[in-house]
Structure 1
Amino acid sequence: MKKVTLETIKNARETIKDIINITPVLESTKMSEKTGANVYLKCENLQKTGSFKIRGACNKIANLTDEEKANGVIASSAGNHAQGVALGAKMNGIDATIAMPATAPLAKVKATKGYGAKVVLNGLVYDDAYAKAVEIQKETGATFLHPFDDEYVISGQGTISLEIFEQLNENVDTIVCPIGGGGIIAGVATAAKALNPSVKIVGVQTSNIPSMKESVKNGKVTTAFNANTVADGIAVKTPGNLTFDIIKDLVDEVITVEEDEIYQAMLFLLEYQKVAAEGAGAVSTAAIWSGKYQPKKDENVVCIISGGNVDTNTLYRVIDKGLVKCGRRFSFRTHIENKTGGLSQVTAILNELDANILDANMSKDKSSQGINKLAVEITIETFDHEHIAKIVEALTNAGFEIK
């Protein structure tokens, strides 16, 4: 008998209805124009605690026994489950301890503490935090709340699909959803396929940690880790057993996106949709914006923006990388004559080609060009890669060596 069904998801909705927000579904005109499909965003970044995780966490806490509640709860999390558990525990007067990776964004750590939970930092990714949580659980006897491999958690996350189908009057062809440990997509897929068996479910992971993609390919739960990722919310090296069983049966496709593609998606969402998404929340958009997933013409596609808990400093770096990648920011190094007006020829060319100078630094560089030359490093604002190519050509033709 299945542990997660449409019925358990409907029960979860009834349980958490007075706690969560019904998050909006927004049309993305830009992505619709780009793809020819009708692309929508399910904005769980606007959920309480800034992520979908509160759905599953609160459903799980509501189903604990009095004894389990009295023992206090412990959880492991990359950050969003932590906040959901912390808030849910606070609302029920339960002591909570959360193990998080030491690499978790400061904003997530601070928010979790702000909800009254004790935070223990350990390791680089979720799996390291999980190991620490298990260790603490054995010492204290606290009730462990798994972030994804739990029927109540998965059922809570599945309430997202119920909202999507209602908000779009059941006109849903495809749902594109992030995958880390698999909790959100397992719930979303269970509800969506029960409501419409022909709906397509596409999962997205970062290529740096493609654990579920590898698991599906190998037919068994597989550990995979290549490098750290800006998508910390889905940085799970080993997915769940329960989630894998659901995903292998109900998810139609699992694809991966690169870090640069996530940066560009975060920038796109912020600039064109006015949506602040964390890396994990942006991977669904990255899949479409990059062309990794290409919807059919007139298809109704929903991208789940799973969270918006992005650290401000991280967002600043992501914007910079995103602008560079799409050709809207360019930095170069050259040499000018060490005399009055030495820089003016460079700035004149940039001005003529409508490039805005954001930053310029000069220093003597005796080793490579002699005492009569100055090294100058300039960062400019540009329109696109074609614009950059014209600028480089003009400067090169004027005798400047560009690096």
Structure 2
Amino acid sequence: MATPARARKTPTPTKSKGKSEAAAGMPSLIPNSNSYLQRILNARVYDVAKETSLTPAKSLSKRLGNKIWLKREDEQPVFSFKLRGAYNKMAHLTAEQLAKGVICASAGNHAQGVALSAKKLGCRAVIVMPVTTPKLKIDAVQALGGEVVLFGDSYTDAYGHALELENAQSLTFVHPFDDPDVIAGQGTIAMELLRQHQGPIDAIFVAIGGGGLISGVAAYIKAVRPEIKIIGVQTHDSDAMIRSVKAGKRVQLADVGLFSDGTAVKLVGEETFRITRALVDDYIRVDTDAVCAAIKDVFQDTRSILEPAGALGVAAVKQYVAAQGCKGKTFIAITCGANMNFDRLRFVAERAEVGEHREALFAVTIPEQQGSFKRLCELLGPRSVTEFNYRISDSAQAHIFVGIATQNREESQKLLKAFTKAGFAATDLTDNELAKQHVRHMVGGRSELAQDERLYRFIFPERPGALMRFLSSMHPDWNISLFHYRNQGADYGRILVGLQVPKSDNAALKQFLGTLNYPFEDESNNPVYRFFLR
């Protein structure tokens, strides 16, 4: 997991000037900054948006030793903060502009905000979305009456096409972030937040895509409570704002990561860059595993499921606390969106444990001889095994892919040393993207050494000792030639086992299966087995 990364090590004169002036109301660093405060105070958002909750994250707070609060923008009617800025912008349009209709480019959340605002105001809304946008968001926009046009792989691609349609159809463009009225609409989040929590706040963590949210939040906070730190958060593969602030000018990325699609912006706005550069105190980059872990943390505290962009702030809080070693502080993360595609939950669940250092992945080599597999399992002790993949392929050595539940990174290092001490060559794969994304699902294949092999599917109770009971009950002359297990988070685990059993031991095998008392299916004649494993 990455550590907090400041965009620059020493403040520039502009940054330093901004801090002193923020305490006095930010009059000169940001032109018209007082008007930003006025814009936010007078923003029209509550015709469609709601005042969202400020929720304590009790479990996360206890674990981190700090008071963590969540500003729940995922509670909005469109499950994202974007509704605020979109409506505030459109509510300030003339009747003539509304009559002609509006257009926007969006990865999804701004699109829903514009579509709902257009429905409220009774005007046409054309929405240009990247082709990578989750279907959930596309369907939501269409359900609100928006006319969806899919174009390009990122927001920047969709933006260029939207500008062409704007001119061709005389529509009014509603920018998702680089517009004073949009920024002011997002700033109402900070206005609510300070009204809801009037005590000390040490820092507010805000996700950054194009910069509209953090610009609005920073403009209000630094005008009213300048002592509160504003910390911006981006992913490692979509960090255009951090790079821009470091360079002192806007930097366009060639490509952006699409996991956090809500913040996948190649080029930040001119206005948002100017405000962010002046008022934001610090920046943190987070990785995919950290974001997945944060989604799980929020679910455990709220029973709500955030989209990746919505969880960036929470991931950054955890990273910040770990790096700073702070205790007793008060931190607020803006959970800015919950438009999560259901199909992505499988990936999030797999990566969350790694992101929290609660799972370690290893490649372990053991001698291909009787008792080695059992000795390896004994070495793991009472630890929960999250995954076990093995297929006989060599007469001398066996290569096993194993996932193990851990408490922290230190425990995984101890396990690595224990494998080596026991004579098992091992490699830590926890941070290996190839292993996490692909290899863990591909271990196996055909084997010419799998003679007299019988294939069985078992259902094991998910409790410590279940695997050892299986191994201890097995005849010592039988060999395990295939083993596949993945913890699915249920009360029962499903395991696929290949056993090399001589035909003369059929009676002993039947007795073994009967006394084991685990539900099973004989898959030895399954065509899938013959196609891919036999």
- In the TM superposition, what are the counterparts of 1:182-261 in structure 2 within 5 Å? 182-225=211-254, 227-261=256-290
My pick for the range that moved more, 393-402 or 105-114, is 393-402
Residues 1:57 and 2:86 aligned together: yes
Q: Which residue of 1 aligns with 2:337?
A: 307
Unaligned runs of 5+ in 2: 1-30, 428-534
User: Structure 1 residue 170: deviation in Å?
Assistant: 5.5
CA distance in 1, matches of 2:333, 2:417: 40
Deviations 1:155-182 (A, max 9, x none): 1101101110110126434322111111
Alpha-carbon spacing, 1:324–1:249, altered in 2? closer, same or farther (3 Å): closer
Distance 2:325 2:426 in 1: 41
Matches within 5 A, 1:1-400: 2=32, 4-12=35-43, 15-33=44-62, 37-169=66-198, 171-225=200-254, 227-291=256-320, 294=324, 298-333=328-363, 344-347=374-377, 349-350=379-380, 353-365=381-393, 369-370=394-395, 377-389=401-413, 400=424
For 2:270, the aligned partner's letter is N
CA distance in 1 between partners of 2:398 and 2:225 (Å):
67
Aligned residue number for residue 24 of structure 2: none
1:300 Cα shift?
3.1
CA distance in 2 between counterparts of 1:201 and 1:324 reads: 28
- TM-score norm. by structure 2 comes to 0.66
Which consecutive residues of structure 1, in runs of 5 or more, have no partner in the other structure?
A: none
Q: Which moved more, 1:326-335 or 1:201-210?
A: 326-335
2:274, 2:420 → 1: CA distance?
Answer: 58
**Structure label with greater radius of gyration:** 2
Separation of aligned partners in 1, 2:385 and 2:97: 60
Judge conservation of contact 1:210–1:225 (CA < 8 Å) in 2: no
CA contact (8 A) 1:288 1:294 kept: no
Q: Quick one: structure 1 residues 347 and 170, their matched pair in 2 at CA, closer, same or farther if it must change by over 3 Å? A: closer
Pair 1:338–1:61, CA change in 2 (3 A)? same
The residue identity in structure 1 corresponding to 2:283 is V
Per the TM alignment, residue 246 of structure 1 is displaced from its structure 2 partner at its CA by 2.0
- The structure-2 alpha-carbon separation of the partners of 1:201 and 1:393, relative to structure 1 and needing over 3 Å to count, comes to closer
TM-score, normalisation: structure 1: 0.86
Deviates more, 1:313-322 or 1:66-75: 313-322
Is the 1:99–1:130 contact (alpha carbons within 8 Å) kept by the matching residues of 2?
Answer: yes
Q: Contact 2:291–2:355 at 8 Å: present in 1 too?
A: no
Deviations 1:230-266 (A, max 9, x none): 2221111211112122223322223323333323322
Q: Secondary structure at the match of 1:270?
A: helix
Q: Would you say the 8 A contact 1:37–1:295 is kept in 2?
A: no
Q: Secondary structure of 2:139's partner? A: helix
Separation in structure 1 between the aligned mates of residue 331 and residue 289 of structure 2, nearest angstrom: 23
Please give the alpha-carbon distance, in whole angstroms, between the structure 2 residues aligned to 1:19 and 1:77.
19
C-alpha contact 2:230 2:280 (8 A) present in aligned 1 = yes
Contact 1:23 1:42 in 2 (8 A): yes
- Aligned residue identity for 1:80: N
CA distance in 1, matches of 2:311, 2:243: 21
The answer (yes or no) to whether the contact 1:335–1:375 under 8 Å persists in 2 is yes
Q: Give the 3 Å change call, closer, same or farther, for CA 26–73 of structure 1 in structure 2.
A: same
Question: How far is the alpha carbon of 1:77 from its aligned partner?
Answer: 0.8
| 8 Å CA contact 2:256, 2:265 repeated in 1 | no
Structure 1 residues 39 and 224, CA, compared in 2 at 3 Å: closer, same or farther?
same
What's the C-alpha RMSD, in Å, of the aligned pairs? 3.0
Asked whether the equivalents of residues 290 and 356 of structure 2 are also in contact (C-alpha less than 8 Å), the reply is no
Deviation at 1:148, TM superposition (A): 0.5
Structure 1, 335-344 or 313-322: larger mean CA deviation: 335-344
Mapped to 1, the partners of 2:145 and 2:209 lie a distance apart of 26
| Structure 1 residues 218 and 268, CA gap change in structure 2 (3 angstroms) | same
Partner Cα distance (1:329, 1:217) in 2: 35
| Residues 365 and 398 in structure 2, CA contact (< 8 A), matched pair in contact too | yes
Do the aligned partners of residues 377 and 5 (structure 1) sit closer, same or farther apart at CA in structure 2, a change above 3 Å counting? Answer: closer
Q: CA deviation at 1:76?
A: 0.5
CA drift of 1:136 comes to 1.9
CA–CA separation in structure 2 for the residues paired with 1:228 and 1:238: 13
The higher relative CO (CA closer than 8 Å, separation ≥ 6) is in 1
Displacement of 1:64 in angstroms is: 1.7
Q: Which amino acid aligns with 1:104?
A: T
